[in-house]
Chains A and B, each alone.
Chain A
């Protein structure tokens, strides 16, 4: 008797979002990325569709904090004070599929860079690279409203993602994203219900579901990774089982890894700190993808390289 392989027949389909607009589409990007679109769990395309190998974006800042870990800083030492050059290096040398800039320098409690300065930065970034862009504010609601409105206008026609929309602050960023047909990243803090609530808030406000990407918070390895892993799995399973409001691509970042000193501190007992930090970030990212993330945002070039290789092997090795 032939062995019948148990295939899951999911009824739900994750929406697909394309970021970046080429010249022919009214933008100036030289590449685009598609994320989502799955009707199966990650890398199980034999029982549905898993049409897009998860793209990996790299994260940069308009201004780097003094305490930014040395390990993450080092590969970019020569360009770290110039976001345009930093982005260019990520794309040309390390193969970043997207660039995400976090405009932390605009925060009034940090450097309080003016909207005009921020505009300069974003224009330079736009010129420097041709990949799709994500522009994140600093987390200061009032300032972000202005910075993201500006970013939306400067990037008009480029089909960016703007972030991060949060429960307590989503209206002005929604307006910014809708006014020039950008996508929006909805942040929720390790909670499937909150993730859902965010999508409801945004759609009630007028954002189209197909323009939303969810960031359900990827905790770092050793710092709650298991919570993220299960929250993401639950979100994805609920979506595949038919919960329409959760049928939205998921994007996870490894930013939290770079807050956990255990990952990168000097400590001979736990091995070479650069290798450890790189592997810490890579493991965090890979676990997000296996749980259901459709795209990643990462920091260290070597971690990006390793995860790209693993994702390629996972994606290419099986029937998708």
Chain B
């Protein structure tokens, strides 16, 4: 539990000396509880109180970094159960698994490296490769890790419960800080040694229950490992789902430190079934999801899901203002205008695409507000629309001066016409009316 002002007050000297800048120790404690002051301001505080305060100030889920260089991944440090309460900060990392006895390791990794998508101006791709020792042969594992490393700079997960195998694998890539997977109750001492010696994060795996998992993570921490990742093990999906939720709750709501770490999950099933397990991990609380396949038809929607869920609810996603060409427009094609809230743009663009009518869509900078909100807040006006029409160069692309505006802002038509000199046509009130409207407009 987070410390209350009263909890903190009990640990302070209670002398009300005022050296911290606050009149009383209680006032100081209240500022500390709200994280508005630092304990360092008190010259007389005991070391014990200091430790207590510092540990309670640590984030509920530890930030753990895997990998090195510009593909390094940060995970953990989440603060809410539901994204609308604030936001989800560190997007789940997607990892593809390759086996050390597989003949096509290099081609599989190569294909993953080449799988890059761009969507709404963001690059999307797989983030990690998990190399699993199926052979249980140190030499074979080491050469597989080297082969993977030769093809990619993404962070690796090394998967083996045999410390001898892990040690060889680490020799091939330790400086890149792979995630060691995994310490179990049988091998944790040796695995913790390896993690410390190589300065690598360590996954702890325990499938018998959360209490047992917490015990194991405590032991690993006592052995000196700070960067820990939890693996709840293989279990029925519904059980796993419940435990993922419980781990997140214990960490965030109870500040239960032994489970206050990011979670790695191995998706079960095949094809679309595996994909849906990845989706579940994305929505509910995994920080790494490992999958066996990476088909483009599944990866693209999954990466889109991650992009959606990890956007900040406080900051609407915006598209770039300007001219968008849809369905291959020509000089006599209709010109429409809307605002740059991504959802507005996508809806309007989707409806125009459905109409199949070649069109120009002008997107005005409304600071990410939808048409009606922007209009009400004076962020989408006859003036700003005029400015866009004049600055974007649409006049050079078409042989007419007619612009279709959203039906909801019909009121701006007079002024827009006056300002811009363009003939203003009032379109449908809702974007869903566009397909029919445009077909008739183009046919007329």
Binding site for B on A (CB under 8 A): 2-3, 5-6, 41, 43-44, 46, 67, 109, 219, 221-227, 229-230, 233-234, 237, 259-261, 263, 269-273, 275-276, 278-280, 282-283, 286-287, 290, 302, 306-307, 309-310, 313-320
Contacts and interface: CB of A to CB of B under 8 A. Distances in A.
B402 interface: no
Contacts of B295: 271-272, 275
Interface residues of B, number: 58
Contacts of A283: 275-276, 279, 301-302, 305
Contacts of A5: 210, 246, 250
A6 B254 contact: yes
B40 to A, nearest CB: 33
B347 interface: yes
Nearest to B284: A290
Contact of B239 (A67, A272, A318): A318
Nearest to B283: A290
Contacts of B117: 269-270
Contact of A272 (B297, B304, B354): B297
B305 A287 contact: yes
Contacts of B367: none
B280 A310 contact: yes
B246 A6 contact: yes
A276 B117 CA distance: 14
Given A226-B83, A275-B272, A43 B296 contact: no
Nearest to B268: A313
Given A6-B250, A309-B276, 7 more contacts: A222-B304, A223-B343, A275-B297, A276-B296, A309-B273, A310-B280, A314-B241
Interface in B81-97: 82-84
A261 B297 contact: no
Contacts of A3: 210-211, 214, 250, 256
19 contacts: A6-B253, A219-B343, A221-B301, A221-B304, A221-B305, A229-B308, A233-B84, A271-B295, A271-B296, A275-B295, A275-B297, A276-B297, A286-B280, A290-B280, A290-B283, A310-B277, A313-B236, A314-B238, A315-B238
A269 B296 CA distance: 7
Interface in B272-308: 272-273, 275-277, 279-280, 283-284, 295-302, 304-305, 307-308
B414 interface: no
Contacts of A67: 354, 356, 435
A280 B295 CA distance: 13
B305 A275 contact: no
B26 interface: no
